[in-house]
Amino acid sequence: MKRTDIKRRPLSDTVLANLEPELKEYRELDGDDLYFRVKPDGKKAWLFRYKKADGKWSWLGIGTYPELSGKGARKKASEIILDISHGDNPIITKQERKRQELDHNNATFEVLAREWLETKVNTWVHDTMTRNKGALEKHIFPIFGKRLYTSIKPIEWMNHLKGIQQKQGIYEQVSRVRAMCRDIYDYAKVTGRIDYNLLEGIQKFLQQGKKENMAHVSEAELPTLIRAINNYPRLCCTKV
């Protein structure tokens, strides 16, 4: 698609995907100082045009396409416009947002849990590591893995663990998973990342597996059992 064929703005997803490169780099206005750049090699990216404190215009790259969609680019442009209206330097705020995003990614429960698992490498045998890591990957990471570990409420943990017990009936495994998650929070506590363990005491309110007595015979039945053993033909050399 040639840029001369563009009929409206903001640019549609079809236009963004099909704009053809030219001999020279060009930029197409999307709206509100947001531009879509197309290089001769076909690479595409989003740029924001803003005026610096000295009154000169400058360009700020905010992401490549298609990694950053039109909707995402417009959201970022709105954030930059708001920053500028507050007198902030858009370059500095962009760097700060990247830092916050990195901090967020490093503060998820899965990242914390895998860091804790590394502390067990020299104390767990291979089979134990495989079993425990697999339990976390199956029962915990799909639900809480991408969440900030400080944002998961105790009631969420209890409801999730109870749900596994009720649906799957795996009481012993849930107890083991709960203990690991508690230890993971303990690890966060002793490394100075949290002040208290969110799973402290939760085991008191989880259902315990039913205990069954081992099979046995009563005292009255014992003589009959002994006679049966003594009379069993394959045990001719054994008497009780």
Domain boundary assignment for the chain: 3-88, 109-205
Mean residue pLDDT of the chain comes to 85
pLDDT in tens, 129-151: 999 999 999 999 999 999 989 88
20 contacts: CB under 8 Å, gap ≥ 6: 1, 2, 3, 38
pLDDT recorded at residue 173: 85
Q: Longest Cα pair distance anywhere in the chain, in angstroms?
A: 108
pLDDT recorded at residue 224: 76
Residues 177, 158: Cα–Cα separation, whole Å: 12
Q: What percentage of residues in the chain have a pLDDT greater than 90?
A: 55
Question: In the predicted model, is pLDDT for residue 96 greater than 70?
Answer: no
CATH class assigned to 3-88: alpha beta
pLDDT recorded at residue 216: 61
**Cα–Cα distance list, 50 to 89, 107, 182, 219 (Å):** 10, 33, 49, 93
**DSSP 8-state class, residue 124:** S
Tell me the angle at which helices 109-118 and 126-139 cross, rounded to the nearest 10 degrees. 170
Q: Check residue 146 and give left, alpha or beta (phi > 0: left; psi -120 to 50: alpha).
A: alpha
CATH classification number, 109-205, choose in 3.40.50.1240, 1.10.340.30, 1.10.150.130, 3.90.920.10:
1.10.150.130
Residues 224, 240: Cα–Cα separation, whole Å: 12
